[in-house]
Chains A and B, each alone.
Chain A
Amino acid sequence: MYQYDSFDQAMLDARIDEFSDQISRRLSGELTEEQFKPLRLMNGIYLQLHAYMLRIAIPYGTLNAAKLRGLAHVARTYDKGYGHFTTRTNMQMHWLKLEQAPDALRALAKVGLHTIQTSGNCIRNTTADQFAGAAADEVCDPRVWGEVIRQWSTFHPEYSFLPRKFKIAISAAPSDRAAVQWHDVGLYILKNEAGELGFRVMAGGGMGRTPLIAKTVREWLPQQHLLSYLEALLRVYNRYGRRDNAFKARIKILVHEIGIEKFQEEVEAEWQEVLKTFEDIDPREVERIARFFAPPPFETLPETDEAYEAALASDPEFARWVEQNVHAHKAPGYAIATISLKATGETPGDISADQMDAVADIAERYSFDDVRVTHEQNIVLPHVKKADLYTVYQQLKALNLATPNLGLVSDIIACPGLDYCSLANTRAIPVAMDIQKRFADIERQRDIGELKIKISGCINACGHHHAGHIGILGVDRRGEENFQITLGGSGAEDASTGKIIGPGFDYDGVVNAVETIVETYRSIREPGERFLDTYRRVGIQPFKEAVYGQN
């Protein structure tokens, strides 16, 4: 994990001192809310439905035990004893008191955490594949470049007041686990035939009221030019992005309106200009950063372990958890274990302070002090010895953290919705909970197979409903909650936008409609087909007829 040096720490401390002074001036009445709002937002403090909310950055979704314990401490001391992981792999705490914010920020800074780049029209926290450094299918650890981007973009004066917020995601594996194509800039790290690494640069993806999938700006960019190319791309956006209408200000609208060819032309021309003065990152600096992400000292182990195999054979619940939540690791004898934060009856993405502390202990002991956050609101122990998996599972089970539902119908993304968010039109979490209850039978879930349901409580689409195999969008229809269902979205490497099935449903009707859709899939699927495969084969009509009738 990247370690901040004394300069970083001094900068962080100075920033908190400055913000503490601004808070004092706000509390004394010297600053109005109008004056204070941009200052608090730049420090990750929003005003939400019930109170102030603190959004804490988790760069490229990487935590360690100390940081997790720091989050637990802040949750316990300055909030209500829990935190909420978001689809941007950040953590939100929904009950902050402004007068306690400086102490909370200082406690976070002690463990190298902060709220920088979690708000405002700047380049936000870069997200990455949660299996980075562990995945059997990656060409390199994408977090190295995530950190390079972080250092380049943090407080970048030219990009602090962009037309709108700007989100970057990065992956170095053919399986896209980071919804790369749904970002303002999506980066895939590839290896060419000569063994060199480079980027496929995509731009113009985004959700919200205008869902658009990113288009390729450049098929191959040698890795050493990443920053100069991003510099050029951001300049084009900064110059031509609309500032007259917030709904049309994201880069996706610019790319869509001028077309990808014109956008490419502009970026390439600008890049040639940038290269005249911009010094791309020194490979030695990349190597310095890469050392922080060096693989942990894996033992040389056989592919599997006798006791592990025996546990698989004797404990069917463990076997089920392994089958669903454990993925192949690049090092023999190790595995990647995902901790589902989607237990039935719990808010998707929520984790209590006690659970954070306990996971920190487990990570320290069994996963080389490494924990990841996923954009699907789960967490990951990336490096667990297969020989330790049963012990880890048992400890997680005791914490209600061993739900074997990864990628299944109950592994739902849900935004905070009307239960917490001041922008929401409808509830999202209760809809997720009701769907989980309806499909509580884990064997039924396993028979249904991979099915990603994503729920947003308003058009801003924080719950990624456009990318859901089944997406649910809550809208306000004349004062009543109404839920539109979309089918066929994907956030993976085969990204696609869901299509609206038909008229929306009231709160009581939406779960029934989801069940009808799922049962229709079960009745018409061919062997080996996931829900998404069946949908792509047959289209929306059979589902429409099942939900609304033939007429």
Chain B
Amino acid sequence: MPQVMTAYDVPTGDVVYWAGNGWTRDVREAAVFDDPATAEAVAVRDAAAQIVMDYYPIDVELKDGKPWPTRYREVVRASGPSVRLDLGKQAEL
């Protein structure tokens, strides 16, 4: 199953995803792994630089060619609370 790397942004606590050339808040802009070792290396580097924290890979499926989480927990992280559609990324994206 395809995967992307997620983490938390240190200053804001926002959920972020590795986009290949930096971290994005939009999971649909995340880079799908070609090589898990490379994605892990980037996360290790940026965690060591105290840019992000608590990184881990998540499973995604491709919708219109863009990644979207498969697990419900990650859908909530990528979108916002299901009970407040006016809050979180779903209100901004």
Q: Which residues of A contact B (CB under 8 A)?
A: 26-27, 29, 31-33, 47, 49-52, 80, 95-99, 347, 418-420, 424, 427, 429-430, 433, 479, 481
Does B29 lie at the interface of the complex (its beta carbon under 8 Å from any beta carbon of A)? no
Does B19 lie at the interface of the complex (its beta carbon under 8 Å from any beta carbon of A)? no
Chain B contact patch, size range:
20 to 34
Q: Are B80 and A50 in contact (CB under 8 A)?
A: yes
A98 and B83 alpha carbons, distance in the complex (Å): 24
A197 and B11 alpha carbons, distance in the complex (Å): 51
When A29-B50, A33-B53 are in contact, do A347 and B11 touch as well, CB less than 8 Å?
A: no
Chain B contacts of A420 at CB under 8 A? 81
Encode contact with A along B62-83: 1 for CB under 8 Å, 0 otherwise. 0000000001110011001111
A429 and B83 alpha carbons, distance in the complex (Å): 7
Residue in B53, B82, B87 whose beta carbon sits within 8 Å of that of A80 in the complex: B87
Residue in A32, A98, A430, A479 whose beta carbon sits within 8 Å of that of B12 in the complex: A98
Chain B contacts of A31 at CB under 8 A? 50
Closest to A48 in B: B13
When A33-B53, A80-B87, A429-B83 are in contact, do A98 and B73 touch as well, CB less than 8 Å?
A: no
Q: Are B50 and A430 in contact (CB under 8 A)?
A: no
- What are 7 A-B interface contacts by the 8 Å CB criterion? A32-B50, A33-B47, A33-B53, A50-B80, A51-B15, A419-B82, A419-B83
Interface residues of B in 29-78 (CB under 8 A from A): 47, 49-50, 53-54, 71-73, 76-77
A324 and B82 alpha carbons, distance in the complex (Å): 30
Chain A contacts of B47 at CB under 8 A? 33
A393 to chain B, nearest CB (A): 27
Interface centre among B12, B13, B47, B49 (most CB of A within 10 A): B13
Count A/B pairs, Cβ under 8 Å.
65
Q: Are A430 and B13 in contact (CB under 8 A)?
A: no
A246 to chain B, nearest CB (A): 19
Q: Are A49 and B77 in contact (CB under 8 A)?
A: yes
Does B23 lie at the interface of the complex (its beta carbon under 8 Å from any beta carbon of A)? no
Q: Are B8 and A47 in contact (CB under 8 A)?
A: yes
Closest to B50 in A: A29
A98 and B10 alpha carbons, distance in the complex (Å): 8
Q: Are B81 and A50 in contact (CB under 8 A)?
A: yes
**In the A-B complex, the 3 residue pairs with the closest CB atoms:** A29-B50, A52-B13, A419-B81
Closest to A479 in B: B71
Chain A contacts of B77 at CB under 8 A? 49-50
Chain A contacts of B2 at CB under 8 A? none
A50-B81, A418-B72 given. 20 additional CB < 8 A pairs?
Answer: A26-B50, A27-B10, A29-B50, A33-B50, A49-B73, A50-B15, A51-B12, A52-B13, A95-B87, A97-B11, A98-B10, A347-B83, A418-B73, A419-B76, A419-B84, A420-B81, A429-B81, A429-B83, A430-B82, A433-B83
Q: Are A47 and B76 in contact (CB under 8 A)?
A: no
Q: Are A97 and B12 in contact (CB under 8 A)?
A: yes
Chain A contacts of B15 at CB under 8 A? 49-51
When A418-B73, A418-B76 are in contact, do A47 and B83 touch as well, CB less than 8 Å?
A: no
Q: Are B13 and A49 in contact (CB under 8 A)?
A: no
A95 and B12 alpha carbons, distance in the complex (Å): 9
Q: Are A51 and B13 in contact (CB under 8 A)?
A: yes
Chain B contacts of A418 at CB under 8 A? 72-73, 76
Q: Are B50 and A98 in contact (CB under 8 A)?
A: no
